[in-house]
Amino acid sequence: MFARLFKIFSKDLAIDLGTANTLIYLEGKGIILKEPSVVAVKEDGRYKKVLAVGDEAKRMLGKTPGLIKAVRPLREGVIADFEVTEAMIRYFIQKVHNRSYLVKPRIIISVPSGTTQVERRAVKESAESAGAREVYLIEEPMAAAIGAGLPITEPIASMIVDIGGGTTEVAVISLGGIVASHSIKVAGDKLDEAIVQYVKRKYNLLIGEATAEQIKIQIGNVYPEEPYDTFEIKGRDLISGTPKTITITSKEIQEAIREPIELIIQAIKQVLEETPPELSADLVDRGITLSGGGALLRNLDKLISEATGLPVRVAEDPLICVALGAGKALDNLDKLKDIMISA
């Protein structure tokens, strides 16, 4: 009886639990929530009190007083803080269900393909503790491929490169299964870190991750052309200790992010080497599809195409591919149950 009651009051959800952002797809409505995966926590001895989640918490990053911390509970695609992740998932579930407590939805959550059984179980248990009735897991490259509209169930190769916040997922998919894949912990966050280190090394200026992300979005380019785009940065001078402003160019950002970009290209080449020849032949015509926030980095598609000799396209809406794909899997759960993974 209770199960039937929960079903009436709960609409099923698909969650893209990302290192940088969490997106939620609500059954029958589509994507209805996109917020940063950030939680503001007040620590009182052994207890943690959640003060803010999502957009509100992100505004506090790097600006909180001693007792309050704005944390990202997921690092490199996996749960770094179980308790805070659970609180975050619960908050988002209740937010999309208008804070109703009589809610026990079925949930599909995307996880990186390189996660261990223990890491997957942690995700599943977090969602169950947060109020899920049933939890299914789907690998991120599979969800991204569905969201990008690739024909994953057909006997032809579909190659997806999903560059998120914490991980880059590279996979070749055919007949509803992943034939070859590689997951590396180099993605948007590592690009931000590389920018922070470059500015520190070259200008003796300390900037925060949020500023680095802003620089990447505004002038990040792997093939900048003259006249170079510029961006004014404010930070703390490491020599004088006072605030200082400098101007940086897109050419300098190309230099700053060169190493992590090369690692992503290496991962793509590794998967291409592991792909069976019949499927490799398909990729000559079908090429590679890019998804995730990293796909928006200017000229990245051009650079990958030059490195691999294959056509490269950016998915129609790269930021929502994983959430959209998990949502489509949710809507067709009976047909696509085989592509779910166990925890």
Looking at 243, 258, 273, the residue that finishes a domain is: 258
Q: Does 85 share its domain with 6?
A: yes
Strand partners, 71: 39
Q: Report the number of distinct structural domains present in the chain.
A: 4
- The domain boundary, picked from 258, 288, 306, lies at 258
| 293 in a known ligand binding site | yes
Do residues 171 and 246 both lie within one domain?
no
To the question of whether residue 256 is assigned a binding role by annotation, the answer is no
Q: Are residues 10 and 113 in the same domain?
A: yes
Domain at 88, CATH number? 3.30.420.40
The residue range of the domain holding 10 is 1-35+79-149+319-343
Q: Is residue 19 part of an annotated ligand binding site?
A: yes
CA distances 256 to 224, 239, 339, Å, are: 13, 22, 38
- Flag whether 215 is marked binding: yes
Please tell me whether 102 is known to bind a ligand. no
Please give the share of the chain, as a percent, with pLDDT higher than 90.
Answer: 62
The reply, when asked if residue 117 is annotated as ligand binding, is no
Rounded distance between C-alpha atoms, residue 206 and residue 233, angstroms: 10
Whole-angstrom Cα distance, residue 201 to residue 120?
38
Which of residues 248 and 42 earns the better pLDDT score? 248
Instruction: Check the annotation: does 131 bind a ligand.
Output: no
Query: In this predicted model, what pLDDT tens digit does every residue of 29-58 receive, in sequence order?
Result: 899 999 999 999 988 777 788 888 999 888
Cα–Cα distance measured from residue 186 to residue 267, given in angstroms and rounded to the nearest whole number: 10
Judge whether 165 is annotated as a binding position: yes
| Confidence band of 259 (pLDDT split at 50, 70, 90) | very high
Q: Do 219 and 140 have their domain in common?
A: no
pLDDT confidence bin for 28, thresholds 50/70/90: confident
Q: Are residues 288 and 213 in the same domain?
A: no
Query: DSSP state, 298?
Result: B
List the alpha helices (DSSP H) in the chain.
2-9, 55-58, 82-96, 117-129, 140-147, 188-203, 209-219, 250-256, 258-274, 277-286, 300-308, 321-331, 333-336
CA angle 257, 260, 265 (to 5 degrees): 115
Mean pLDDT over 110-132 rounds to 88
Same domain as 249, residue 193: yes
Annotated binding residue at 114? no
Round to the nearest angstrom and report the end-to-end CA distance of the chain: 28
**CATH number, domain with residue 194:** 3.90.640.10
Mean pLDDT confidence for 157-168:
95
Q: Per the annotation, does 70 bind a ligand?
A: no
pLDDT band at 103 (very low <50, low <70, confident <90, very high): low
Residues 95 and 138 in one domain: yes
Clarify whether residues 181 and 42 are in a common domain.
no
Q: Are residues 300 and 342 in the same domain?
A: no
Is residue 141 domain-shared with residue 91, that is, in the same domain?
A: yes
278 annotated as belonging to a binding site for a ligand: no
Note the pLDDT of residue 1.
45
Angle ∠(103,135,292) on CA atoms, nearest 5: 105
214 is in an annotated binding site: yes
